[in-house]
């Protein structure tokens, strides 16, 4: 048995929705995309949702809505997926890498404040693992320094900050719906804003700058004619992907509840393990995207091998971006992120993970640190009543 680090939960509902798209014979952006956008709007409580084909595309066009000039600076935490940094570069701006907090791994707002120059135009917080950044402090910093806020909420769909849903907190928020995200479209993303002008610009850029997409033009009341009103990309979300996302959204609450339960079980099981430090997250407000621990004493890679030998797949999220060769030009010393980069390990966490699988992971980790407990047998008995596992597969980063 292999336990993957993450795995999407896909079922008959998604298949039936895709079948409907096939039957409609309209595979590209269309009615299913519109429905997905409407459902996201009411779920998040926002005015505008622009569905796109990935989280990276969402970040790219979100930044492009802000009229950045070449050389403008975007403050970005270094501990993120490279898509964040690449989107900044794609938008023609310069990433200013910032350090992260030791406790949450989110942007260290004080460190970001120290790195502000007259070229700084945007602060781009990433809600690491689904845990909201200090959005009040970020909002105050942005107001004081005249910065726009673009949130990378790729990990944080369905999380909130002080009772307010992520997506409603700043100028513009970007989600990813790639295969392993809190909900998936297969591949997909969304730009979310309450600002009609930013939404209009995002809509125009998502489809090559064309004033009316094919779906609007096929409506009998619309004319066949269109104009190209500016630069744009081919970033729209297809009906196929939107149909999957719409079904996933219906099941979000159960996904969230189970993932919270597993993350809390890990927290309880590892609280007394001396070789580990646990990341702080807010159980009521967070839909945990993944579960990351810090492995102390230089033992991270050994633990990884120990778990692999027992069929448990783990990951490292992430190599701090300023250490990648492509971003060497922007490199500065970021001591907390560099330390975390050598210590972090992502353990398996996904909706369909059984209690038995959770217990196997816990036992294997505790065994590594010499604090093994025989809980596996107990959990196996509890699991007997649960559904058999679906075929394991691991996808995405
Ligand atoms: C923090 C972060 N930002 C951006 C992205 C990019 O999203 P996508 O893979 O949908 O392009 C990801 C994807 O893993 C991510 O984790």
pLDDT digits (tens, 9 = 90+) for 233-268: 999 999 999 999 999 999 999 999 999 999 999 999
pTM higher than 0.75? yes
pLDDT of residue 226: 85
**Which residue, by CA, sits nearest to atom 7 of ligand 1?**
55
Nearest ligand 1 atom to the CA of 317 is 16
What is Dmax (Cα atoms) for the chain?
72
**Ligand 1 atom with least separation from CA of 152:** 3
Residue 395's pLDDT band, with cuts at 50, 70 and 90, is very low
Of 38, 20, 53, 4, nearest to 234 by C-alpha is 53
Pocket test for ligand 1, best of 83, 90, 150 (most atoms within 8 A of CB): 83
The catalytic residue among 165, 181, 256, 259 is 181
53-71 mean pLDDT: 96
Residue 283 CB neighbour total at 10 angstroms: 11
Tell me the domains of the chain and their CATH numbers: 12-250 (3.40.640.10), 253-383 (3.90.1150.10)
C-alpha of residue 52 to centroid of ligand 1, in Å: 13
Predicted confidence band at 396 (pLDDT cuts at 50, 70, 90)?
very low
Q: In this structure, what token pair is assigned to residue 2?
A: 């292999």
- First CA to last CA distance, the chain: 21
For residue 55, the model assigns a pLDDT of 98
pLDDT at 56: 98
Over the stretch 350-382, which tens digit does the pLDDT of each residue have? 999 999 999 999 999 999 999 855 555 555 556
- Of 61, 80, 176, the one to substitute when testing ligand 1's pocket (max ligand atoms within 8 A of C-beta) is 176
Q: Is the CB of 55 under 6 A from ligand 1?
A: yes
Question: Hey, whose CA ends up nearest to atom 16 of ligand 1?
Answer: 81
Give the pLDDT confidence score for residue 5 in this predicted structure.
98
What is the reported pLDDT for 254?
Answer: 97
Q: Residue 29's closest CA among 60, 46, 51? A: 51
Answer yes or no: is pLDDT of 35 > 80: yes
Split at pLDDT 50, 70, 90, the class of 1 is confident
Kindly state if the Cβ of 235 falls inside 6 Å of ligand 1: no
For a mutational test of ligand 1's pocket, the pick from 154, 183, 188, i.e. the residue with the most ligand atoms closer than 8 A to its C-beta, is: 154
CA distance 353 to 379: 12
What residues contact 350, with CB distance under 8 A and at least 6 apart? 4, 6, 7, 8, 9, 180, 259
Q: What is the pLDDT of residues 261-279, one digit of tens each?
A: 999 999 999 999 999 999 9
Burial degree of 334 (CB within 10 A; 0-12, 13-18, 19+): buried
Cβ atoms 100, 294 nearer than 8 A: no
Query: For residue 381, what pLDDT is reported?
Result: 58
Q: 121 catalytic, yes or no? A: no
């Amino acid at each position: 048995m292999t336990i993957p680090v993450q795995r999407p939960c896909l079922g008959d509902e998604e298949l039936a929705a895709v079948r409907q798209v096939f039957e409609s014979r309209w595979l590209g952006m269309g009615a299913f995309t519109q429905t997905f956008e409407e459902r996201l709007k009411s779920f998040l409580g926002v005015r505008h949702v622009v569905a796109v084909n990935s989280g990276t595309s969402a970040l790219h066009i979100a930044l492009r809505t802000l009229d950045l000039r070449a050389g403008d600076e975007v403050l970005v935490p270094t501990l993120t997926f490279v898509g964040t940094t690449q989107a900044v570069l794609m938008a023609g701006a310069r990433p200013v890498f910032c350090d992260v907090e030791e406790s949450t791994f989110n942007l260290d707002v004080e460190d970001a404040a120290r790195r502000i120059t007259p070229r700084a135009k945007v602060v781009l917080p990433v809600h690491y693992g689904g845990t909201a950044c200090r959005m009040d402090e970020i909002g105050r910093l942005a107001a004081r320094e005249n910065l726009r806020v673009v949130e990378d909420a790729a990990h944080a769909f369905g999380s909130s900050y002080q009772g307010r849903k992520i997506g409603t907190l700043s100028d513009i928020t970007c989600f990813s719906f790639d295969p392993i995200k809190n909900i998936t479209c297969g591949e997909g993303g969304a730009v979310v804003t309450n600002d009609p002008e930013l939404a209009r610009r995002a809509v125009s850029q998502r489809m090559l700058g064309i004033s009316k997409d094919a779906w609007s033009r096929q409506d009998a009341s619309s004319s066949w004619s269109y104009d190209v009103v500016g630069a744009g990309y081919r970033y729209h979300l297809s009906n196929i992907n939107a149909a999957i996302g719409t079904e996933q959204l219906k099941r979000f609450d159960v996904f969230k509840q189970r993932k919270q339960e597993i993350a809390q079980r890990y927290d309880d099981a590892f609280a007394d393990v001396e070789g580990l430090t646990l990341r702080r997250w807010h159980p009521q407000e967070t839909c945990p995207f993944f579960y990351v621990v810090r492995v102390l004493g230089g033992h991270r890679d050994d633990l990884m091998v120990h778990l692999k030998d027992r069929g448990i797949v783990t990951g490292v999220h992430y190599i701090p971006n300023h250490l990648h060769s492509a971003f060497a030009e922007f490199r500065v010393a970021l001591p907390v992120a560099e330390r975390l980069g050598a210590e972090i390990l992502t353990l398996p966490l996904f909706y369909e993970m059984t209690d038995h699988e959770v217990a196997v992971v816990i036992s294997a980790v505790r065994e590594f640190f010499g604090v093994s407990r025989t809980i596996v047998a107990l959990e196996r008995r509890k699991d007997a009543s649960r559904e058999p596992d679906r075929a394991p597969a691991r996808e995405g980063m």
